[in-house]
């Protein structure tokens, strides 16, 4: 009886457990639960849990803005890419060094064609390497973006109120400004040094046999006027450097404010001559075990300029090498083999150099550098008389990271992240004091593979005085098999990595559909305050102010002829041009002033003119001007290239060019 | 005893249920299960279940290729966008009508500069509207892509083996070819008609007062030679059409093979004159209740050409209006108010017209059209003698869809999907027989809002004889508040919609960072067979074959001078140019033949020359040529613009241009 009693009870208990288990089992949840559909999709699409987590960490629903904005160089597309994080969607391509007709940039638009002419009006492309956001006290302020054109030695200014290029300056001394753009902590200057030294000013000829005597690698400090939003060439200066090949630079910050640090390679001063020597530059420029870190006191250089201790070369104030050395503006420090990246820690106390043919990060102490300078701890001078500070006297640490270390970024917890080109990996390691003490310092703590051949990497505010941590992006040079094939020219590959935890986690692969990005910077979106529509009708994006003289008022549209010049005062509003008929004679100069009368966000209008290579893009409230010679007779439709309403296709007109003689007809 | 027995048993049963329930409850699963981390991220990022499902349906892990490839017009960027589905990542921007230096397209590269010169070498942009994939028996075959340049009246051919532009042809008769590109079912022809009629050939002047007499809107059928991969102008022809404004066309298929259907508006033949008339074209072109659908028998037109019944105008075989009418090549049918899209159903039996100022889709029956032609059911002729078929005799149905219907796509279940511009929505509706019978036919079954102002929409193989269903993409003109703000010029917005179920489900918002896409086509990736690397060293992408004459063999690199011409035979391989030093005299003609010796996927090399506006992009195995006059004296570094190895920065050299006189120095 008792036995049977317990058998039944235990039996019922087990039955109950099973019933209860069944009740909440996956199969039963199918009917009720909200979780299983997720598992169903994961199974159907063969997604691992990590995949699913990555999907949920990056997916950004409609109408939800991304938390961070990345400005990435567009490499040899000449453009800049604007990417939202964590969704990794490319939000905009900003045209900088190449005409871009969607934006109406330098395709008939008079003002932007003027901007692009800097450096020669025949130059229609650029090679953007290193974007630099404007800084206030060493942190991004969200006001301006600066980028370089390595191919032609130019620097551009982009205003982040409207995400448009405002200025391009051509360096009169150099080309190949790989070391650019980087800014000083309050955007006093944008610096630029050449990769491949050359005789200057540009256009100067000197045979390679005179390389050591006549070639030089000056670093230029372009003065930036924040209120004007422009570089001021007259207030800029350059410092002559030896003809080594200059790689990246970084500005000192906090304790090292006022200083700059530049890598160099080819301190062998080898020159190309493979047909005769049968030796490639790869070999001849990489013989020395040590190259030179350049330590530059730009504050002292600024003082030299104020004291008039410069020569003017092709309009640029140039501090000669001897003057710089004598004034303590320039020092060298040995650095291991063919370095690439140099990055200053958030507190300004460390200078991290990655030698691409050396497995270590070499970390210099700014304090030790200063002591070495004061105590004269030099091991000699280079052939140009520049004092060489002792390596051991300035070194803080050397950390073995892996093969092909290139660049370093920082987080908010005292860790450094370095890209390893040959290992195709990102390595996370700890800095020394004040971040980590004793044997916690200078330690590799994590490593994650990336696909493939990483160049730069970038973290949220990762090169400022206040890194935010959270995300890091690996800028990979090769994608090979990562994406659906699109021909022999493969996209690059950006990989988003979560760095909020101890272990790095890869979240997302973004193919780069145009250009080869080199460096990028990531800013908190809340720091950007762009116009979503221009503040008033008649706004001139170049002046960044209203321009009554060129604003066409509704009702005042007209066509005025003065001799052979026909001036058209035109307005655009959904979906009509006024006037919509332009009749001129062959050979007339035609000037069209166009005002977009719209006040609605996104109500941009275009103006395309057949066969005359004109496409304007005129945002709500914006003024634009096009000027051309009507040298082709015939009938040329013009129309709006931004779909603006249901009757957008009716937003059109005709340009009629009457031939000089009817015989031409 | 019995009572107590049952109380205990029932109690234990309940306890068991609770234990079992607890055991599989979410809380207990936290310790073991794989689901809760997902829920955690959903909560942390405030994602709804629909958001999470959309994330999992679109997220595509590293190394997993997308299932579908979308080719989207780049609008007035002049480019084409290649997008992977379902991840909605832009995989490549293909340069077509504008130079693009990343691809080395027409920035010093001799062969592509030649391609771009079609239509005038001063033209450096285009307005791409309607991509058309090559078809075999009415379905995409993945071999070629055709796109138009509306601004300048051009059509381009892209070879999908390497995703590069191979040919651009300029139409000698017209500009503004909005109705282009669309292909006949076996890619016999690529058709092109002008939006804004004009006197022809291009360059002909006629005042707008002579609009009705001298302006016309011919439709051109460009002959395509599939084996050559080229359009053959000599085998192409055009048919003269009245000077209405032609909108989209579509080719008949299956039962309607051999026919084409083109919308038109401004049958009022209004001309722009707002300054005098105070009436915008928006009003004057939209007075008529009915415009005309053009029904064109291109097979019969082909026969007329074979019979020599054409005139040659500016090199184009032109069938005059009277000839076309007399031969039964051209008919008109009334269509409601300012139509925009015309789309033929997969079986070829229906022609769907969306009148942007009419809330209906008007569906014509091809069979009824043929009967009306045979029985002469005409209601008169237009001013140009074109017979007008009776509306009621040809109509199959009118389906009320909503405000501003524009374009229609189809799925694999007999449903049509139409974009509603004014409603900002996509509406799903049923076709008639053979798809649906009786009151199941011609019914709206679902509607989903999109953000905002949708123009075209595109479904997987959605305009072919065999639509695949699954996905649809809404090409929205405005994004306004959908993304993080990037200035007054907002991106467009592609929205991915799942159409596999009864109800449409929005999955993903993709901002378009460059250009305004108009139309796009989506193909199964498996149908594309691109080269991932060119098949051999010395490959010429224009010829799509090896080119021994211009291939530089390793060891045979050299520099040859003939008079004032310096010919450089150069190779590139990681990371060396041979030769790496080019010395010329000012004024010399410099020709560089460059062969990329690599066989590794993604081992592309660039060649940038400072100040000479040259950037080549040379894929593994590829040959390229640059030719320029060395008119600027001085020293010009050249270097590789594709990061190719750890010593990529050493892949460089110098071009030295010796001045005519040392005085110039």
The confidence score (pLDDT) of residue B355 equals 85
What dotted CATH number matches A68-527?
A: 2.130.10.10
The confidence score (pLDDT) of residue B221 equals 98
What residues form DSSP beta bridges with A167? Answer: A157
Please tell me which of the candidates B76, B203, B632 has its beta carbon nearest to residue A203: B632
CATH of B539-663, one of 3.30.750.24, 2.102.10.10, 2.60.40.420, 3.40.50.11540: 2.60.40.420
Rg of chain B taking only CA atoms, in angstroms: 30
In chain A, what residues touch B518 (CB-CB under 8 Å)?
643
Least confident of A305-309, A356-360, A519-523, A561-565: A356-360
Contact flag A8-B13 (C-beta cutoff 8 Å): no
Report the residue count for chain A: 665
In chain A, what residues touch B267 (CB-CB under 8 Å)?
none
pLDDT at B10 over 90: no
Average pLDDT over residues A62-75: 98
Average pLDDT over residues A27-42: 66
Strand (E) or helix (H) holding B48? none
- CA–CA separation, A479 and A510 (whole Å): 10
Least confident of A34-48, A444-458, B240-254: A34-48
The confidence score (pLDDT) of residue A570 equals 98
Contact flag A12-B17 (C-beta cutoff 8 Å): no
- CA–CA separation, A181 and B297 (whole Å): 61
DSSP 8-state symbol, B551: P
Residue A508, preceding bond cis, omega within 30 degrees? no
Burial class, A382, CB count within 10 angstroms (exposed 0-12 / middle 13-18 / buried 19+): middle
Q: Do the beta carbons of residue A69 and residue A525 sit within 8 Å?
A: yes
Interior/surface letters B289-325, b for 16+ CB within 10 angstroms, e for the rest? ebbbbbbbbbebbbebbeeebbeebeebbbbbbebbb
Query: E strands within A185-310?
Result: 189-193, 219-225, 230-231, 237-239, 245-251, 259-265, 290-297
- Per DSSP, helices labelled H in B471-548 are none
In chain B, what residues touch A637 (CB-CB under 8 Å)?
175-176, 195-196, 198
The confidence score (pLDDT) of residue B16 equals 52
- Sorting pLDDT into bands at 50, 70 and 90, what band is B560? very high
Of A152, A97, A193, nearest in space to A515 by CA: A97
Contact flag B203-A486 (C-beta cutoff 8 Å): no
In chain B, what residues touch A652 (CB-CB under 8 Å)?
195-196, 272, 281
Q: What percent of chain B has pLDDT over 70?
A: 94
pLDDT at A20 over 80: no
User: Alpha-carbon torsion A167, A171, A176, A177, what sign?
Assistant: negative
Q: Which residues lie below 8 Å from residue B565, measured CB to CB, with a gap of 6+?
A: B588, B589, B590, B591
Q: Where are the domains of chain A?
A: 68-527, 539-663
How close B388 gets to chain A, by Cα (Å)? 25
Of A616, A611, A615, A607, nearest in space to A633 by CA: A611
Mutation for testing the B interface, residue in A58, A77, A151, A552 having most B CBs under 10 Å: A151
Half-sphere exposure of B568 (CA within 13 A, CB side): 25
- Sorting pLDDT into bands at 50, 70 and 90, what band is A9? low
B292-336 confidence digits (pLDDT tens) = 999 999 999 999 999 999 999 999 999 999 999 999 999 999 999
Contact flag A477-B641 (C-beta cutoff 8 Å): no
Please tell me which of the candidates B22, B530, B577 has its beta carbon nearest to residue A487: B530
In chain B, what residues touch A151 (CB-CB under 8 Å)?
608-610, 615, 641
Contact flag A59-B37 (C-beta cutoff 8 Å): no
Of A302, A353, A346, A361, nearest in space to A327 by CA: A302
pTM score, whole prediction: 0.95
Average pLDDT over residues B47-75: 98
Please tell me which of the candidates A13, A206, A658 has its beta carbon nearest to residue B205: A658
Contact flag B205-A513 (C-beta cutoff 8 Å): no
pLDDT at B546 over 80: yes
Ordered DSSP codes for B167-206 = EEEE-SS-S---EEEEE-TTSSEEEEE-SS-B-SSTT---
Average pLDDT over residues B237-253: 98
Of A441, A433, A450, A462, nearest in space to A508 by CA: A450
Contact flag A619-B489 (C-beta cutoff 8 Å): yes
- Sorting pLDDT into bands at 50, 70 and 90, what band is A36? confident
Q: What percent of chain A has pLDDT over 70?
A: 94
B225-243 confidence digits (pLDDT tens) = 999 999 999 999 999 999 9
A603-625 confidence digits (pLDDT tens) = 999 999 999 999 999 999 999 99
Residue B434, preceding bond cis, omega within 30 degrees? yes
**If you measure CA to CA, which chain B residue comes closest to A207?**
B656
- Sorting pLDDT into bands at 50, 70 and 90, what band is A92? very high
Instruction: Please determine, for the modelled complex, whether the ipTM score is greater than 0.90.
Output: yes
The confidence score (pLDDT) of residue B12 equals 57
- Sorting pLDDT into bands at 50, 70 and 90, what band is A661? confident
Q: Do the beta carbons of residue B319 and residue B305 sit within 8 Å?
A: yes
Residue B201, preceding bond cis, omega within 30 degrees? yes
Mutation for testing the A interface, residue in B484, B506, B532, B578 having most A CBs under 10 Å: B484
Q: What percent of chain B has pLDDT over 90?
A: 92
The confidence score (pLDDT) of residue A119 equals 75
What residues form DSSP beta bridges with A416? Answer: A410, A429
Q: Which residues lie below 8 Å from residue B646, measured CB to CB, with a gap of 6+?
A: A356, A357, A404, A421, A422
The confidence score (pLDDT) of residue A26 equals 45
How close B313 gets to chain A, by Cα (Å)? 14
A321-363 confidence digits (pLDDT tens) = 999 999 999 999 999 988 999 999 999 999 999 988 899 999 9
Q: Which tokens hold the place of B298? A: 């291109």
Please tell me which of the candidates B23, B100, B198 has its beta carbon nearest to residue A77: B100
Average pLDDT of chain A, as a whole number: 94
Using the structure block, give the residue that is written with the tokens 């640090």. A261
pLDDT at B1 over 50: no
- CA–CA separation, A590 and B618 (whole Å): 41
Q: Could you tell me how far CA B652 lies from the centroid of its own chain?
A: 38
Contact flag A205-B651 (C-beta cutoff 8 Å): no
**If you measure CA to CA, which chain B residue comes closest to A198?**
B635
Contact flag B404-A646 (C-beta cutoff 8 Å): yes
Same topology, domains B68-527 and B539-663? Answer is no
Of A489, A196, A151, A129, nearest in space to B615 by CA: A151
Contact flag B532-A485 (C-beta cutoff 8 Å): yes
Q: Which residues lie below 8 Å from residue B612, measured CB to CB, with a gap of 6+?
A: B108, B628, B630, B632, B636, B655
- CA–CA separation, A372 and A395 (whole Å): 11
B116-170 confidence digits (pLDDT tens) = 998 788 999 999 999 999 999 999 999 999 999 999 999 999 999 999 999 999 9
B87-121 confidence digits (pLDDT tens) = 999 999 999 999 999 999 999 999 999 999 987 88
In chain B, what residues touch A494 (CB-CB under 8 Å)?
none
Q: Which tokens hold the place of A648? A: 């957008």
What residues form DSSP beta bridges with A154? Answer: A149, A170
Please tell me which of the candidates B77, B84, B125 has its beta carbon nearest to residue A613: B125
Contact flag B208-A481 (C-beta cutoff 8 Å): no
- Sorting pLDDT into bands at 50, 70 and 90, what band is A32? very low
């Amino acid at each position: 009886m008792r036995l049977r009693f317990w058998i039944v009870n235990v039996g019922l208990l087990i039955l109950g457990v099973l019933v209860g288990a069944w009740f909440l089992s996956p199969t039963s949840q199918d009917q009720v639960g909200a979780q299983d559909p997720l598992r169903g999709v994961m199974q159907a699409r063969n997604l691992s849990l990590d995949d699913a987590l990555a999907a949920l960490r990056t997916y950004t629903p409609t109408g939800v803005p991304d938390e961070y904005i990345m400005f990435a160089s567009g490499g040899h597309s000449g453009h800049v890419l604007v990417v939202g994080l964590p969704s990794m969607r490319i939000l905009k391509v900003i045209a900088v060094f190449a005409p871009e007709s969607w934006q109406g940039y330098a395709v008939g638009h008079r003002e932007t064609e003027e901007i692009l002419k800097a450096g020669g009006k025949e130059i229609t492309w650029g090679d953007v390497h290193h974007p630099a956001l404007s800084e206030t006290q060493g942190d991004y302020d969200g006001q301006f973006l600066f980028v370089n054109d390595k191919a032609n030695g130019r620097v551009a200014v982009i205003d982040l109120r409207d995400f448009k290029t405002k200025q391009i300056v051509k360096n009169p001394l150099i080309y190949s400004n790989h070391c650019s753009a980087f800014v000083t902590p309050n955007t006093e200057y944008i610096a630029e040094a050449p990769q491949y030294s050359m005789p200057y000013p540009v256009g100067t000829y000197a045979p390679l046999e005179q390389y050591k005597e006549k070639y030089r690698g000056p670093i230029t400090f372009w003065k930036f006027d924040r209120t004007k939003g422009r570089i001021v060439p007259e207030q800029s200066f350059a410092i002559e450097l030896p003809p080594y090949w200059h790689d990246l630079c970084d500005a000192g910050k906090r304790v090292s404010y006022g200083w700059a640090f530049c890598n160099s390679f080819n301190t062998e001063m080898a020159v190309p001559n493979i047909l005769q020597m049968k030796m490639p530059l790869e070999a001849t420029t990489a013989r020395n075990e040590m190259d030179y870190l350049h330590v530059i006191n730009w504050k002292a250089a600024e003082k030299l300029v104020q004291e008039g201790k410069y020569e003017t070369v092709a309009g640029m104030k140039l501090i000669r090498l001897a003057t710089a050395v004598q004034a303590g503006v320039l020092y060298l420090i040995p650095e291991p083999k063919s370095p690439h990246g140099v990055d200053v820690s958030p507190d300004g106390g460390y200078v991290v150099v990655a030698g691409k043919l050396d497995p270590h990060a070499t970390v210099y102490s700014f304090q030790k550098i200063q002591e070495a300078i004061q105590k004269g701890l030099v091991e000699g001078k280079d052939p140009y008389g520049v004092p060489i500070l002792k390596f051991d006297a300035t070194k803080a640490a050397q950390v073995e990271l892996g093969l092909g270390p290139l660049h370093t970024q920082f987080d908010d917890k005292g860790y450094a992240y370095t890209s390893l080109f040959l290992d195709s990996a990102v390595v996370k390691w700890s800095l020394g004091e004040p971040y980590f003490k004793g044997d916690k310092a200078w330690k590799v703590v994590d490593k994650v593979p990336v696909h493939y051949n990483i160049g730069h990497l970038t973290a949220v505010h990762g090169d400022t005085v206040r890194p935010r941590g959270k995300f890091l992006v690996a800028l990979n040079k090769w994608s090979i098999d990562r994406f659906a094939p699109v021909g022999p020219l493969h996209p690059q590959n950006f990989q988003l990595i979560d760095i909020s935890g101890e272990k790095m986690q890869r979240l997302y692969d973004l193919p780069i559909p145009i250009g080869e990005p080199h460096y990028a910077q990531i800013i908190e979106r809340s720091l950007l305050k762009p116009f979503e529509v221009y503040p008033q009708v008649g706004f001139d994006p170049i002046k960044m102010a209203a321009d009554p003289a060129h604003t066409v008022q509704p009702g005042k549209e007209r066509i005025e002829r003065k001799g052979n010049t026909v001036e058209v005062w035109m307005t655009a509003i959904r979906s009509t041009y006024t006037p919509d008929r332009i009749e001129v004679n062959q050979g007339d100069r035609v000037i069209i002033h166009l005002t977009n009368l719209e006040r609605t966000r996104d109500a941009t209008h275009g103006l395309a003119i057949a066969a005359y290579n004109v496409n304007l893009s005129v945002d709500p409230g914006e003024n634009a001007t096009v000027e051309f010679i009507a040298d082709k007779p015939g009938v040329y439709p013009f129309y709006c290239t931004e779909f603006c309403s249901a009757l957008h296709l009716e937003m059109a007109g005709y340009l009629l060019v009457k031939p000089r003689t009817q015989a031409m007809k």
